[in-house]
Structure 1
Amino acid sequence: MAERLVPVISLKDFESRKEEITEQLVEAAENAGFLTLVDHGISVHEIEAQFAISKAFFGLSLETKGKTPHSKKTNNGWEYMAQLRPSTGMYDQKESLWLQRNSEWPSDDDIPKFRETTENFMTKCASISDQVLSCFAKALGFPEDYFKIANDPLQPDCLTQLRLIHYPASENAAGSWRAGSHTDIGCLTLLFQRDGEDGLEICPGRESHSTFAIGETFTPLPAKTGPIVVNIGDMLMAWSDDRLKSNFHRVRAKDIGKSPDRYSIAYFNQSRKGFVLQGPKKKYPPMTVDDYFKQAVARNFG
């Protein structure tokens, strides 16, 4: 099972255990590309509260959700079955709300305390990301705050986003792709799941390298409320001269029977547009994050 392949890493007593935690994070990032964080500072109550906010939004009418429309220019806002995956040739069977601090937000009149609750959640995600990325920066030979500065979500040119996701319940869709096989474009993803809402499958390990992992072995990673599933993105893989591994993952309907609603929350550390991306060994030519991101989007979504 996938959980055996994904190391569980505790962030408890982070400052006093930083060297030990760094070793564990690097080992997981080099060999699996995935890890699970516990003792990370966001309580189950806070996670459940954010999921409740998310579920309330997706429960609104299409017209009300459409008041926060998706923008192709900023990639923020509500979208419904809008991502065409080259790996499947089909649209992902989900709806999502992309958010940044300076984006349009759903009205508190429609969902009380939506913005306050969600911004507080984003702040905690940023803090956890800073801890993990500081360990990677040190291991790669960068200044310890290098990735923290590069991924500062308070800066106007930062591409970091929170994505609330809903996969509607599906009948007669056994084995179909709710989200096709892909890697994440950015640096580091924090993924929150809910008990009993399985579907995530991962392809860990350095050996998975074929196009969209076609023919590779995917294994389920059971959904649990509390732990954070973390994966390396393409950008951080390039930034590390391929030392840290970005790996494929997907969301799949059950093989037998009805697949229930699935909700997940992803925090994508995607860096600041003007930052120059190049690893310490200069394996790849220097490129701004903005240019890298545009090329990656064109490559992954045409």
Structure 2
Amino acid sequence: MTLSLRNSATEQTQNTLEELDFERTIGGLGSETDRKIPLIDLGDFETRRDEISRELWQAASEVGFFQLVNHGLETEEIRQAFRLSERFFQLPEQEKNRYALKKGQNAGWEFKSQVRPSTQTADQKESFQVTLPRMEGLWPDQVTLAEFQRIILDFEYKAWRLGMQVLSCFAEKLDFPRDFFALAHDRASEEYQSTLRLLHYLPLSKEALQDASLWRAGAHTDFDCLTMVFQREGQGGLQVCPGQDANKDGNGPAWTSVEPRDDIITCNIGDMLMRWSDDQLKSTLHRVRMPTPEEAGQPRYSMAFFCQANKSVTIQGPNGKYPPITAHDYLQQRIAANFSAEKKSD
């Protein structure tokens, strides 16, 4: 199947995405359980490509979540990006507001503005989103935050490169050309939509922890093809629930905590790739839990890179299970559902 690009809006015929209907049913505490999350070694990638591809496909089709080691990003580079992220979020609110989120553009700073369909309350976090073609006026200058733009852009490029390497394995398994997803996520294009998101989950008091309606990030699946999450050691909270366990035995989702390590990248399949694979690959439910009483008053930082196809790329699987839709229209529907919902609580 060749890569299809379209200038028209979309051939999509569904007004409501099935993914949104699913998210609206998964709020609530659920239970916790231990599971093994697949750990995949990317070392000696070209020599071991077939072996790695088999492991990635098995993890993505059975669990939807996996972790990468020997992935090519230096641990110190990841830590350096975290240090700059923390410095950005330490800026005064008035200063950060100069780089406010551009509506519908996935670029800029937001504070507690994301409302999950699963919870209908604002996530207890702030973020700074980097989407390359939309960053005009959104970078702190050298006086405000020295080297921020250079280092974060370099990190974004290395994350994109790794994402394309992983996606090339899925492309071949789907009988697409090896570079299919790299062309669909062309970083040089003005239609580029992939996003690096710096995240700061807010410190919360013990009193706030008593509010059962609040979440650092409510249960959700991601919009994209592939998400790569970078976590800081000692700052846990990410939890995963494979789709087949979302309502096991009718008792609600069963969640597994993902231990944070500086040298491991945690990945999950997003709804865009699940649709593109005709549901062969599984987009996995996940969330960031509220702090424990012992963690009250402590922040949590993470970074996520979202591989999101360029605007005019048409998403349709090899077997045509779903009607075609452009990546632009698909993302706009998902963004609208998460940033335009009426908040029940701040």
| Shorter-chain TM band | over 0.9
Question: Residue in 2 aligned with 1:136?
Answer: 170
* SS, match of residue 219 in structure 1: strand
Q: 1:247 offset after TM fit, Å? A: 1.0
Q: Is 1:77–2:108 an aligned residue pair?
A: yes
Question: Residue in 2 aligned with 1:235?
Answer: 272
> Which one is further off, 4-13 or 250-259?
250-259
Given residue 225 of structure 1, which amino acid in structure 2 is its aligned partner? D
Cα contact 1:197–1:223 (8 A) shared by 2: yes
Cα contact 1:208–1:247 (8 A) shared by 2: no
Unaligned runs of 5+ in 1: none
Q: 1:161 aligns with which of 183, 195, 203?
A: 195
Q: 1:10 aligns with which of 38, 41, 52?
A: 41
Structure number with greater CO (CA < 8 Å, separation at least 6) is: 2
Q: 1:224 offset after TM fit, Å? A: 1.2
Once the two structures are superposed, what CA deviation does each residue of 1:263-295 show, in whole Å capped at 9, x if it has no partner?
000001111011111101111112211122223
Distance 1:111 1:214 in 2: 48
Relative distance call for 1:269 and 1:168 in structure 2 (3 A) is: same
Question: Residue in 2 aligned with 1:270?
Answer: 308
* Matched pairs, number: 300
Question: Residue in 2 aligned with 1:182?
Answer: 220
**Higher-Rg member (1/2):** 2
* SS, match of residue 127 in structure 2: strand
Given residue 246 of structure 2, which amino acid in structure 1 is its aligned partner? S
Given residue 62 of structure 2, which amino acid in structure 1 is its aligned partner? N
Distance 2:312 2:265 in 1: 29
Distance 1:243 1:209 in 2: 20
Question: Residue in 2 aligned with 1:200?
Answer: 238
Distance 1:120 1:255 in 2: 35
1:12-161 alignment runs, 5 A limit: 12-102=43-133, 103=135, 104-161=138-195
Q: 1:206 offset after TM fit, Å? A: 3.4
Distance 2:182 2:34 in 1: 28
Given residue 183 of structure 1, which amino acid in structure 2 is its aligned partner? T
Once the two structures are superposed, what CA deviation does each residue of 1:26-56 show, in whole Å capped at 9, x if it has no partner?
0000011100011011111100000000000
Cα contact 1:194–1:225 (8 A) shared by 2: yes
Once the two structures are superposed, what CA deviation does each residue of 1:191-223 show, in whole Å capped at 9, x if it has no partner?
00000001111102534379xx98110111111
Cα contact 1:3–1:222 (8 A) shared by 2: no
Unaligned runs of 5+ in 2: 1-31, 342-346
Distance 2:251 2:127 in 1: 26
Distance 2:268 2:220 in 1: 12
Cα contact 2:35–2:256 (8 A) shared by 1: no
Over the matched positions of the two proteins, sequence identity in percent amounts to 43
Given residue 314 of structure 2, which amino acid in structure 1 is its aligned partner? V
> What is the RMSD computed on CA atoms of the aligned residues?
1.9
> Which one is further off, 235-244 or 56-65?
56-65
Distance 1:209 1:144 in 2: 36
Q: 1:297 offset after TM fit, Å? A: 2.9
Question: Residue in 1 aligned with 2:262?
Answer: 225
Distance 2:119 2:183 in 1: 36
* SS, match of residue 235 in structure 2: coil
Cα contact 2:184–2:313 (8 A) shared by 1: yes
Distance 2:251 2:222 in 1: 16
1:269-288 alignment runs, 5 A limit: 269-288=307-326
